[in-house]
Each structure stands twice: as structure tokens, then as C-alpha cells.
């Protein structure tokens, strides 16, 4: 179960970083509404995408079972590496001026697409995938909600560090799957 919690925290870091960026631009009167909106959008998509990845992984597991550990390792290595690289780049939320439903949908998909690939790794863990996805969704909701307030109070200095941390954790989970 510890792997699921670590996976949930690592996957939530993209949404946390974006939420920090959103919160850094928001007015105080709209802060709670934005925090709830970010939490719901990011949490829902972060819960659904790994489930899609898990179901797709179950569908092909019979064909690739001998290499499944390697596939999970490579996917987590690529996702983690991408997050590390993105931690040194400007975020997409820098260009956003209004947080509409369309913008939130775009951000929710963008921050959770990696979670679909990570969902494949759930096929290799001894956990209930629905419980794991629920944990991922709730964790992302909490981190996104907190991220808006952190961004409002401190600006964006923590944004890149969150993505860096998430990337490193995903790579470490990949090594654990490969080696154990």
C-alpha cells in the first residue's frame, strides 16, 4: 500500500505545481472557490486516468507479462524524467488569465495524462485498482486545494520543486518495481 501512497503523491505533484501557479494569480475573494475547483478537476482526472491505464494494461498483460516489469520501469522513468525536465521550464499556467471551465479541462487533462501511463504499473502491484485510483484522486484533490493557497501566499517558488520531487519519486518507484 505504501507504493500506492507514494505513487499518489508523485502523480499529484503536477497538479500541485499548476495549482500553485493558479493561486499566485488569484484574488483573495475567489481563492476558496478556485481551490475547490482545482481540487475537483485535478482529483477527478488523476483518479480516472490511472484506471484507464490499469484497464489497458490488464488487456495486454497476457501478451507482455514477461516484460511487464521492464515496461512499467521504462514508463515511470520516462514520466519521472519528463517531470524533472518540466521542473526547470516555465509552466503553462503562466499564460492563463482567466480560469474558465475550458481552461480547467485542459489543465486537468494535461496534468493527468502521465497518470494513464503510470496506471499500467498498478497491474504489477498487489492492490485493488479502484482503491488505488480513489487514493490517487483524493491525494490530488488535497494537494491541488493546498497548492492554490500556497501559490497565493508565496508565489511560484515552490512550483518547480514540486515537479522535481514528483519526478524523482516516480523514477524510484520504477526502480523498485524492476528490482523487487
Q: How many CB atoms lie within 10 A of CB 26?
A: 19
Q: Residue 4: pLDDT above 60? A: yes
Tens digit of each residue's pLDDT (9 = 90 or more) over 131-145: 999 999 999 999 999
Confidence of residue 99 (pLDDT cuts 50, 70, 90): confident
> What pLDDT was estimated at residue 98?
66
Q: What is the mean pLDDT of the chain?
A: 85
pTM, whole model, 2 decimals?
A: 0.80
Helices (H), the chain: 2-25, 31-64, 68-86, 101-119, 129-154, 159-179
pLDDT tens, 65-94? 777 788 878 888 988 888 888 778 765 545
pLDDT for residue 32: 93
96 band by pLDDT with thresholds 50, 70 and 90: low
- Give the span between the Cα atoms of 37 and 59, in whole angstroms: 33
Return d(Cα 180, Cα 172) in angstroms, integer.
Answer: 12
CA-to-CA dists, residue 100 to 29, 92, 104, 112, angstroms:
16, 15, 6, 18
Q: Where are the domains of the chain?
A: 2-179
- The whole-number pLDDT of residue 95 equals 55
Read off the pLDDT of residues 145-168 as tens digits, 9 standing for 90 and up: 999 999 888 876 777 777 788 888
Amino acid at each position: 500500500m505504501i507504493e500506492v501512497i507514494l505513487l499518489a503523491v508523485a502523480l499529484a505533484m503536477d497538479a500541485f505545481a499548476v495549482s500553485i501557479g493558479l493561486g499566485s494569480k488569484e484574488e483573495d475573494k475567489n481563492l476558496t472557490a478556485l481551490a475547490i475547483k482545482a481540487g475537483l478537476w485535478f482529483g477527478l482526472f488523476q483518479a480516472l486516468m490511472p484506471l484507464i491505464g490499469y484497464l489497458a494494461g490488464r488487456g495486454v498483460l497476457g501478451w507482455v507479462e514477461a516484460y511487464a516489469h521492464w515496461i512499467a520501469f521504462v514508463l515511470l522513468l520516462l514520466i519521472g524524467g519528463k517531470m524533472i525536465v518540466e521542473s526547470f521550464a516555465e509552466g503553462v499556467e503562466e499564460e492563463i488569465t482567466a480560469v474558465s471551465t475550458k481552461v480547467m479541462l485542459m489543465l486537468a487533462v494535461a496534468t493527468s495524462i502521465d497518470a494513464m501511463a503510470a496506471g499500467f504499473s498498478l497491474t504489477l502491484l498487489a492492490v485493488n485498482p479502484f482503491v488505488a485510483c480513489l487514493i490517487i484522486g483524493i491525494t490530488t484533490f488535497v494537494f491541488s486545494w493546498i497548492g492554490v493557497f500556497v501559490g497565493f501566499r508565496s508565489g511560484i517558488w515552490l512550483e518547480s520543486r514540486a515537479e522535481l520531487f514528483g519526478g524523482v519519486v516516480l523514477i524510484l518507484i520504477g526502480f523498485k518495481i524492476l528490482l523487487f
